[in-house]
Structure 1
Amino acid sequence: MSASAKAGQEAGQEAAALVRLTDVSKFYGNIRALEGVSLEVHAGEITCVLGDNGAGKSTLIKIIAGLHQHDAGTFEIEGEETKLASPREALDRGIATVYQDLAVVPLMPVWRNFFLGSEPTKGAGPFKRLDVERMRETTRSELLRMGIDLRDVDQPIGTLSGGERQCVAIARAVHFGAKVLVLDEPTAALGVKQSGVVLKYVAAARDAGLGVVLITHNPHHAYLVGDRFVLLKRGAMAGSHAKSEIALDELTRQMAGGSELDQLSHELERAPVPDVIGGKHVGSGGE
């Protein structure tokens, strides 16, 4: 590929960013929650945001989801600079957020939760009612399209495993036209098998053409599906890498603190214990 063609391709990739944050900061009074954070979300790619508790991941989610507005920097959606006023505006602009605790009604059936807040109706006037058959059939077909084969969409969603509920939420976002899917620690409370199931459907959302933001503290999960990695530490950028630029071991090391972890390891090394009896050092040859 010629240099000019490569430059044109890179320019096209820049223009294709669904969401771009540049040096975004958020302050609560004198408290710095986020400072100078930059990331990009492209269609058909997964951007992983990694960090420990208190790193600023939740604040970043709230800015992208429209819950909070940033105080400095720029937030662009498809090249247009914006400040989202509410989660509804974020949804209208194609950004869907699936939180760790999942906004579901456990005793309601799967199909009702799938359409919660966006229920289709039929009839008019006093004969207007929920189009239950349409919701059942749409839920069943949309889940199957994502590769999710539930036994019965009439079962209460609370009877599903944590991984299955996450998958239903992902399929719902895809169905309602999300362009960007933000996932808040989707595997945090799951075992190995269920985590694998969720990551499979995260990849399915990417393959459906969505731009995905995966928030996690698990570098192994991130590396399985991620295309880009942004590391946060105490509200600031600690690193930004494409997958081709970093190995899993180095990603894990950077997230764990790198030099700080090395220093801790040195401090925890067991010091040699002197052989002392009665306050006297005892040698091999006696006194």
Structure 2
Amino acid sequence: MTEEEKLSHDRFYKAEQEAGFVESHGHHTAQTQSPSYKLAFRDTDFLLREELRPVRFQLELLKTEMLLEEAGIGSTLVCYGSARIPTPEQAQARIEAANTPEEKTAAEKLAANSHYYEEARKLARIASQAAVVEKGMRQFVICSGGGPSIMEAANRGAAEVGAETIGLNIVLPHEQAPNPYVTPRLAFQFHYFALRKMHFLLRARAVAVFPGGFGTFDEFFELLTLIQTGKMKPIPILLFGRDFWHRVINFDALVEEGVINRKDLELFTLVETAEDAWQHIADFYGVAYQPSED
């Protein structure tokens, strides 16, 4: 029996093969050169039409999901945080580069939070060196937004101990390139914020939230809402920086105003160090605590 005659053999050619047939035929007529004649899945102009938005949504969902599955990633430890906090080495230079008193004050505030760059880096090293595997899939793989600052620190910490690390980047009007510590095959780019945020949480088994601005708040509060409303099962949410969070959000006032319950404050845990954060994650899942990152 020939290969073609086997019962298990697919009777239809794959899309890639069909596309190859088109190229090999080499017909160059007015008909074949018309945009209407292009195979739909190879017609970029068609795929970018307004009516194709639902298809693009599905593509952004499927591509990342399939590639993470193929990479053997079972779960992630997601790190949210500012794209503006400098490394400790950059902090003083930022202050000196300030041109106005307002800029200097902001630079000094950011510099005061620069130690969180090192905490994010350290947490990523600890989680990556724990090398947790379940059902043949890697667990607590470090995942960030793929950008600079806190995101870079998380990817960097994992890369420094030889672990793969994920970056979920977003197309913005200004330049936004992945930081160099994201594993190339796990560097993803999104058009839709909604799909990007979905992928942050689909595999998340813990989330570390460092000081940040609107983007960090958006991601943090969406996560809290999903768990508070029962749409998502509880996971460890580690909020780094007691002083920062108590200063920028009056959680107790929300309770006093009656808009949340006192018990809702148990959805997250305030921490200061990477060791404390990993201890909480390890206790939650019954994972051996091994903070041997140095």
Superposition TM-score, scaled by structure 1 size:
0.28
Superposition TM-score, scaled by structure 2 size:
0.28
Flag the structure with more relative contact order, 1 or 2, with Cα contacts below 8 A and sequence separation at least 6: 1
**Which has a greater percent of helix?**
2
